[in-house]
Structure 1
Amino acid sequence: MKDKLFCNNCKGLRNQNEVHKVEERGGDEEGDFQWYKSYSIIKCAGCDSISFHQVYGDTEMFEQTGPYGEHDYYYDESVYPPYLKRGEAIQQLFYLPEKIRTIYAETIASFKSNSSILTAGGLRAIIEAICNNLKIKGNNLAERIDGLSKNGHLTLAESKRLHTIRFLGNDALHEIEKPKDEHLYLLLEIVNHLLSNLFVNDKKMKGKVETMIDTYDDFIRLIQNRIDNDMVGKKMTISNILDKSKRLLTKKNLTEFENSFVKDINSKKITFVKVENKKPDNIYEIIERPLLFQFGIK
């Protein structure tokens, strides 16, 4: 093959070797209209990835190139699976909340199929879905985007970028105005960055590096992970149990979570420790090492 075609694995135009090709030709009975199709299995000359290449052309597909009616014929070409010409989609979609994941996947599919108006609308819908997930209220999307920064989910600069997506989506959906690809790729980059910061990065880091504890469930899991066999039978303060991991909690969260911890112990919801209410610190007697996974255990 003479022309380079896009390789999904290499992420760029590459020389391709044609593995197999089927051609079809046809037209009307008079011969005034004729068409041509070809279907090829191709293999990247660089990485050996397999793709499918389709070509279509007919006698109506030409551009006038001279003052006397001269014209050049052109063909429509498609490579499957479809691809983004620039940038990349988020790979860890399973980290995204379900509704955001669904809208994002459909938006990327529209972008790969060159459906620019639907892509712009999809990017706008992703912002709406983020606001819904984070329970950001407002009379319209503009107010909700401002609410994202006011509630500390993103910076003021990031909020301004989201307004750009809102403008583009509104123009596409209300004015049926086709956006430029270069603008869509730029806005996809912004959306990817936002989704990664809000939903992906923390989950990727969890269990690999220490991260701040900001929920009671995570606090309990931290305590369960901290208690080992050597602690069983000993009496310890919460600071003794947590040791260096105490730095993962703000003073406010530590106080609130410990109060809830004591209530759960007294109500027998938590049984691996007993508590003695003393000042300035509660004393916890470690009864047993907690089971981290209790599937099928009663």
Structure 2
Amino acid sequence: MEEKHFCRTCKGLRNHKELHTKKLRSEDDDDFFIWFEQYSIIECLGCETISFLKIYGDTEMVDYDEHGSPEYYYDKMIFPPYLSKGRELELQNFIPENIRGIYIETISAFKADLSILTAGGLRAIIEALCNHLKIKNDNLSVRIDLLHKKGHLTLSESKRLHSIRFMGNDALHEIVKPNKDHLFLLLEIINHLLANLFINDKIIKGKVETLIDNYDEFLRLLKTKITVEIVEKKLTLLEVLGKSKKLLSKENILEYE
């Protein structure tokens, strides 16, 4: 294929080869209106991702150059739908079900280039997050501020969520179509938020050292430090913990002891 097509894995225009193609053509009785369709299974020559390409054109789809000569153009669609920029979160199974459902629908709207529904979906994700964290108020602006005050978000993160609220309100109440590049930025804010709240801790758990801030985790750590060699020895808690004491604050050590 001479023309490059978008690869959802490579995230850009790439050379493809046609694996199979079916062409259709028809016209009206007077040959006045003619249409053409082509369906192709294509494979990226870089990563071997398989896609489905639909091309459509007809005699009404024409522009004229400076000399008055006709230049025909075609509509092209790649399936499955994709995000031309940005990313979709992996490990979505870690996200609570009520939030995950809205996130998936929002991503589907974005892939289908439904900008107003996408903006509304991003706003709805914040509402669902507040519901999950039991942040109750009729006003979303107040709920976003409470996310920060109750320690779920930093002040900077809560300010970014207000940007999503502004765009969502404009899209749903004023029917203002959002700028697509702005939507990609807001999607990254949502991705960062959901990853921090629900995904990252589960990924690193048991793989790298993290701060311990609850008694159950403290007990699990303590059990790993008790060995045959220390039985019948008189040791302080800090001596038992050894270097792992860095995982607890002084206040928590006193409380747990």
User: What is the TM-score with the length of structure 2 in the denominator?
Assistant: 0.87
Whole-angstrom distance in 2 between the partners of 1:236 and 1:62: 86
Matches within 5 A, 1:195-214: 195-214=194-213
1:2 maps to what in 2? 2
Amino acid at match of 2:129: I
1:148 maps to what in 2? 147
2:55 maps to what in 1? 55
Amino acid at match of 2:22: V
Whole-angstrom distance in 1 between the partners of 2:138 and 2:113: 32
User: Shift of the alpha carbon at 1:194?
Assistant: 1.8
User: Shift of the alpha carbon at 1:95?
Assistant: 2.6
1:279 maps to what in 2? none
User: Shift of the alpha carbon at 1:57?
Assistant: 2.3
RMSD: 2.5
Quick one: percent identity of the two aligned structures?
58
Q: Against the structure 1 CA distance between its residues 230 and 54, is the aligned structure 2 distance closer, same or farther, given a 3 Å change threshold?
A: farther
Alignment length, in residue pairs? 257
Choose 1 or 2 for highest CA Rg: 1
Q: 129-138 vs 224-233, which deviates more?
A: 224-233
Whole-angstrom distance in 2 between the partners of 1:254 and 1:134: 28
Whole-angstrom distance in 2 between the partners of 1:219 and 1:101: 31
Q: Against the structure 1 CA distance between its residues 96 and 229, is the aligned structure 2 distance closer, same or farther, given a 3 Å change threshold?
A: farther
User: What is the TM-score with the length of structure 1 in the denominator?
Assistant: 0.76
Whole-angstrom distance in 2 between the partners of 1:71 and 1:172: 38
Whole-angstrom distance in 1 between the partners of 2:32 and 2:226: 83
Q: Which runs of 5+ in 2 are unaligned?
A: none
Q: Which has the higher contact order (CA 8 A, sep 6+)?
A: 2
Whole-angstrom distance in 1 between the partners of 2:182 and 2:71: 30
Whole-angstrom distance in 1 between the partners of 2:249 and 2:212: 8
Q: Against the structure 1 CA distance between its residues 220 and 22, is the aligned structure 2 distance closer, same or farther, given a 3 Å change threshold?
A: same
Q: Which runs of 5+ in 1 are unaligned?
A: 259-298
User: Shift of the alpha carbon at 1:255?
Assistant: 4.1
**2:35–2:59: 8 Å Cα contact kept in structure 1?**
yes
Q: Describe the superposition over 1:167-207 as per-residue Cα deviations: whole angstroms up to 9, x where unpaired.
A: 11111122222211111011111112222222222222221
**2:42–2:52: 8 Å Cα contact kept in structure 1?**
yes
**2:8–2:84: 8 Å Cα contact kept in structure 1?**
no
